[in-house]
């Protein structure tokens, strides 16, 4: 299937590695121009160079912390100055820390709000004036929007807000032909998931391999997802091929979530 991505321009947030890079790679594979960002300049530059070389498509890399509105504005402006258009954005950031409710301070709740919910609002607000009919917004949340995850209360609470934002905007922006969707990763093989498994292994006094084997039991397809499997779903939802899909949350979870 031709996704219709050739020549289109996408902002892909938090994309030097992990899920963001997986979506950027899938977009670039199909001929889109991708503007990557993350906080660490040399890592995002390396990722963008590798995509440009591998897929022979123009890429941009910008050091941008998505909790900082001025940095988001610079990232968007640089992309527009370079390519003159923006067709969509992947709204993404790092995840809040893993803690039990009684361990979380007000300052940590505030940081989680700024990292997960307010950054989403700000990224969408910064790009919206440049969108036209056929543009698309895609968020990444978590399986926690369906089932709470142990010790990830900050993520669960803030991502519920992002899921609400997606449905609200899908209604508000539909008259302008702008689609808004959400991806729900189950357990995709990234550094963040490895870090969470490591923390769990330490807490339970078991090996990393045991912690991982336990978590695989809850995934019907029997494996972690790859960032490329995740990225393909993202590229589809951002592409013109998904022109009749808005307000949807797509699970990329190997069957992990049990609800119908």
Site of interaction with ligand NAP (CB under 6 A) = 14-20, 37-40, 43, 64-67, 92-95, 140, 142, 185, 187-188, 190-193
Residue 149: CB minimum distance to ligand NAP, A: 8
- Between residues 73 and 241, which has the closer beta carbon with respect to ligand NAP? 73
- Between residues 91 and 180, which has the closer beta carbon with respect to ligand NAP? 91
How far, in Å, CA of 13 to CA of 186, rounded?
19
Residue 224: CB minimum distance to ligand NAP, A: 7
Residue 6: CB minimum distance to ligand NAP, A: 26
184 DSSP β-pair partners: 251
Residue 167: CB minimum distance to ligand NAP, A: 19
Q: What residue has token string 């300049």?
A: 41
Nearest to 225 by CA among 197, 193, 248: 193
How far, in Å, CA of 260 to CA of 249, rounded?
13
The SS3 call for residue 68 is coil
- Between residues 18 and 88, which has the closer beta carbon with respect to ligand NAP? 18
Residue 7: CB minimum distance to ligand NAP, A: 25
- Between residues 135 and 190, which has the closer beta carbon with respect to ligand NAP? 190
- Between residues 208 and 243, which has the closer beta carbon with respect to ligand NAP? 208
Contacts with 226 (C-beta within 8 Å, 6 or more apart), sequence order: 22, 188, 189
Strands 249-252 and 179-185: parallel
């Amino acid at each position: 299937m031709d996704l219709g991505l050739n020549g289109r321009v996408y902002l892909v947030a938090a994309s030097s590695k992990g899920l963001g890079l997986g979506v950027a790679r899938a977009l670039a594979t199909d001929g889109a121009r991708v503007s990557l960002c993350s906080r660490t300049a040399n890592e995002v530059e390396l990722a963008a160079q590798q995509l440009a070389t591998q897929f022979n498509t123009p890429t941009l890399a910008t050091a941008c912390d998505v909790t900082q509105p001025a940095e988001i504005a610079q990232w968007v402006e640089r992309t527009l100055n370079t390519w003159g258009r923006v067709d969509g954005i992947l709204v993404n950031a790092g995840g809040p820390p893993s803690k039990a409710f009684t361990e979380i301070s007000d300052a940590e709740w505030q940081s989680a709000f700024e990292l997960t919910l307010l950054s989403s609002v700000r990224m969408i607000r910064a790009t919206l004036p440049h969108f036209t009919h056929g543009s698309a917004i895609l968020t990444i949340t978590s399986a926690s929007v369906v089932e709470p995850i142990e010790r990830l209360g900050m993520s669960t609470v803030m991502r519920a807000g992002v899921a609400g934002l997606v449905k609200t905007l899908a209604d508000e922006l539909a008259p302008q032909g702008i689609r808004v969707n959400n991806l729900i990763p189950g357990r995709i093989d990234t550094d963040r998931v490895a870090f969470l498994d490591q923390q769990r292994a330490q807490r339970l006094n078991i090996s990393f391999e045991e912690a991982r084997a336990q978590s695989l039991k809850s995934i019907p397809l029997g494996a972690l997802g790859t960032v490329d499997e995740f990225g393909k779903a993202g590229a589809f939802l951002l592409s013109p091929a998904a022109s009749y899909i808005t307000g949807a949350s797509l699970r990329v979870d190997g069957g992990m979530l049990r609800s119908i």
